[in-house]
Structure 1
Amino acid sequence: MTSDLQKEMEDRTAYDMMTELKNMFKKQASQELYETYKLLQTCKMEEGQSVSSHVLKMKSYIDRFEKLGTTLPPNLAVNTVLASLPKSYHQFVMNYNMQGWEKSLAEVHLMLKTAEQNIPSKVSNPGVLMIREGKVKKNKPKTWGKGKGKSIAKKKIPPPPKKENPAKDAECFHCGKVGHWRRNCPSYLSELRKGKAGQTSKSGNEKK
């Protein structure tokens, strides 16, 4: 307590002093508890940041809870830290939950420091990163033509070679045999000629 507060409390009993102090600082402690909880929930680790410094920062918030009279359960404290890790630690968090471990925050801190060594660091050169991610587009070669304007060289694609006998592997829709189409089918042409001959004979008889 400050000297002024001590002078104010010197004539009171211990019970009255504690009651007065609780009433005086209750509102302040409640506000500090809220701010600490807010900081703990919004604290997120960025990619490339030291995991040790991040865990120590979150541990300071958890220790502040205890000083304010609120103790976080160990599992809740650990899960809060794991939820604040970036995507690069997704495999670590998934393995931790699948194994059903119940480690202390200090043990998780050591495990995260070991896992950090196996996580590749971000590439500092953005050009190299774009090449690795396949974002760089190759420029097409351009040719400058004579006279007005410019022209882009276009490579002509030759047409596919024609088959000597396209109907070699074709199946006739009329007789079902392979090697010709219906328009060249002897059976179809024979039936077609017979049909035309029949129609001619019938029309001649009608005229007579």
Structure 2
Amino acid sequence: MRSNSKPHEDLVYEISHGSSQEAFASLIAGIADRIEAARLNPVKVSDLVSVLRGGYDQAVQSCDAERLTQMAPPVLRLKILPKPVIKGKMDVRFPGSVTAISPILIDKTGGNFIFSVDINALAAMMATIFQPNELFEQHITNPGPATIGSAIGIVRVDQTVGAAITLNLPPAANKSCPVLIADWKGDAGTNNITITPSGTEKIQGRSSWKIAGDTGSIFLRPIAGIGYVR
């Protein structure tokens, strides 16, 4: 008895069904599978050798007479190829057409790329982002009424028409900074500027506030849920 009959038994079972052509195809496929298993797992090399030495004879003896008359011993030609290994080297060259947009600067002297930052340009670009809300301005030129923005710190009333105007404040809880409201045109004595808070809120205890003098102004600080105080 062979020392390892399990591979033979498995192969016989695989080819014991179907027509003789199917059995032959199963035999070839079974051997191919074992070759693949031996390639992936060196431990199975002994199984492969056992199948190639005796598995076919045992498989044929297990088939019926009709299959034996139509089946021919398979001819196996094995060619072991070395595992291909591809090695490459890439010489990456930095493109000479690289350009930068302020505040990024590039110095390409001698083919070396040196990157730097123009601090003054960066500060100018970021000024509108990092400046306090008190510096955000709202310039009103159209006829009213007009709503003062929540993040606005300065309001210049400078209408192109000579008419009174009403300015509506946002809820104090939504106002992120105090606001200075000024008669920039200089005609508030004739064309009053009326300032109204939101809902039931008050301005210094009043339901509204008027700038009734030329070039007049008022500085209001928000108090959440209450209104504004001078």
What is the TM-score of this pair, normalised by structure 1?
A: 0.21
Larger radius of gyration: 2
What is the TM-score of this pair, normalised by structure 2?
A: 0.20
Greater fraction of residues in helix = 1
